[in-house]
Chains A and B, each alone.
Chain A
Amino acid sequence: MAGDALATDVLIVGGGGAALCAALHLTERAPALDVTIAVKGMLAKSGCTRMVQGGYNAVLNPADSFERHFADTITGGAFLNEQELAWILVTRAPAMIHELESRYGCFFDRAPDGSIHQKPFGGQSFDRTVHRGDLTGIEIMERLRDAVLGRRVRVLEEHRAVGLLRDHSGARVCGSVLLDMRRGRFLVVEARATLLATGGGPTMYAVSSPSREKSTDGIAMAYAAGAEVMDMEMVQFHPTGLVVEGSELHGAVLEEGLRGAGGRLYNALGERFMERYDPARMERATRDVVSRACYLEAREGRGSPLGGVWLDLSHLDQDEIAQTFPGMVERTRAAGYDLARGRVEISPTAHFLMGGVRIDERCRTTLDGLYAAGEDASGVQGANRLGGNGVAESLVFGALAGDVIAEEVAARPHVSHDEREADQHVAQASAPLRRERGADAYDLLDELRRLMWDKVGVVRDGRLLDEAIAELTELTARAEAIGVNDCREANVEWAAALNLGCLLATSTLIARAAAFRTESRGAHYRADFPVQDDRQWLVHVVLRSSGDGPRLAARPVRLTRLNPADALAEAER
């Protein structure tokens, strides 16, 4: 029943920055390897690296230092980062910039003296964000794609992974079952090493920014196969998502640089409300602070009817705005706003998942044969990600994963997969095609998004979280009855149903972890436990699948380089 089969050396699931950097490094280090990329959408077009506006943080200026970037990252992450991973990020980020330019032909904006221009960004003590206009992601992905086209890599477009495969012992991952969405046929891929790089993507919220096909597939599959996931409660809400009523554009991000350049936030009463939340930094506070402020203003009745507040740049130089943020001007115009002259209605939007599959310093997950890099992995960003660190993480760790796999795969034999598991994945994925429409995938998606936004959103509390967990269980049960139209080829409804399955799985993990952590830290804010408690809670919430639901444990953060006490002393100096 399983369909076609393919044997490859390395299977990369995903097609964004992490996936392509991994493929490029693999083909560079070990050109004899058979490398396959399975991407859910179209190569280099889907995903969120493409959508990066702001930029990429790297220490390039001699006046800057790794220690400073590291300290910014750890402080921004509320000390929940795995410090060795964060150290890898900051020390390897500059080399990646040079690689992007000198090997793949990217070209980033220059300062007048010809050196790479670095702009200021939230939460950073130094202007280190490298960019190309306000559309850095397009430059990066187009050039990475062109580089991949020049290598011997098998690219399977519009192939989504529906489950990981393990060997007969269940201890080792040896590939994945893919679904060719164009033809509606399954492909069983056996691989000596599998890399998850699907890019997280918390689209289970009413307002979310990621590319629409994202649905945390990598994390859901890894968890289902028995890998440890951690920090799932850490969902970053970007403060300025566009409010566009009745349109899919709703939730698309307006970059942080707009606030960095002096943009102001107003509520329905015309107040610059950030005064009440962070008078020192105002609109330039970190994303978690600003998101919470916007959310609370709206919840307490001082927002717009749609739950938004307003971003205003009209007091700034209009020509300069048009010149510095042409992409944003165009995007707001498409939504019917005038960024330079008028107010734009915005709302916090679910943007990035700091949590994900637990990895070590070689991108290895807790399952043998399974690696993860980019947003699918966790630990690098801690409890809150700084703007500009996300694309840096994807590219740095994607490249690292490629290097590590190139090294390790030689010693890994081909193992045969458990056919029953493959059949199970196929059966489960095909089920909606055969069922009557007992439940509607789109209605359930709406319910899930509303539930998560209201109860596991920007501001949380224990009672609502417990309710959410119960409701998620109920939703998951109702989703078993989903039926979709039975056309096999290019079936958009089927894709939505499969996305819902993954989102339900990870939403449960997010809610469980959020209920478990009875403190507030970074992006995770609990109204019933509003204070950060470093004595008890400098721990990761780790989840692992067991017979009856997730097993949660608290694992202490390894503070190998910086201590909160030291950082406090430093800040006071």
Chain B
Amino acid sequence: MYPVPKERRTQAYAELWPAHPRWGIWAWWAQRLTGVALTAYVVWHVVTIARAGRHPEALAPLLRFLLHPAVLIVLVLGLAYHTANGIRVVLVDLGVERMRDRRAFWIFAALAAAAAAAAVLRGAFHVL
């Protein structure tokens, strides 16, 4: 047809965080950060367990980390959020219209928080 204009750089730097953030950018960064954090944790967890036979000394730091109450809460919250928002986004991608707006996001976030709270409380009962 006709030549497509090339990309042009109109900003000196990528704007990773907007001046007036709205729920969309919060949701996305939270998904990214929890994703990275969970992936890092899972890799560490799996590698440590896999090498447990040869390097049993690595297990203790892992468990210490994992069973620290603060870490547990953060991890569970992070997992719950990532899962809930992830499900929401998949539903959006599959064409479910209702999932696309701010209200749907907050409902899922609330569900995640509730699930996390329930898990933590249950775990707390176990531990205590």
Contacts and interface: CB of A to CB of B under 8 A. Distances in A.
A and B bound? yes
Interface of A: 150, 152
Contacts of B1: 150
A148 to B, nearest CB: 12
Contacts of A152: 2
B4 to A, nearest CB: 11
- The 3 residue pairs across chains A and B that have the minimum distance between CB atoms: A150-B2, A150-B1, A152-B2
B3 to A, nearest CB: 11
Interface band, chain B: under 10
3 contacts: A150-B1, A150-B2, A152-B2
Interface string B93-106: 00000000000000
Contacts of B2: 150, 152
A152 B2 CA distance: 9
B1 to A, nearest CB: 7
A150 B2 CA distance: 7
Nearest to A152: B2
A154 to B, nearest CB: 14
Contacts of A150: 1-2
Nearest to A151: B2
A59 B111 CA distance: 60
Interface string B1-24: 110000000000000000000000
Nearest to B1: A150
A504 B122 CA distance: 82
A253 B53 CA distance: 82
Nearest to A150: B2
A279 to B, nearest CB: 52
B42 to A, nearest CB: 49
Nearest to B2: A150
A86 to B, nearest CB: 38
Interface in B72-111: none
A150 B1 CA distance: 8
A152 B1 CA distance: 11
Interface string B39-60: 0000000000000000000000
A110 B1 CA distance: 31
A35 B1 CA distance: 19
A150 B3 CA distance: 10
A216 B24 CA distance: 46
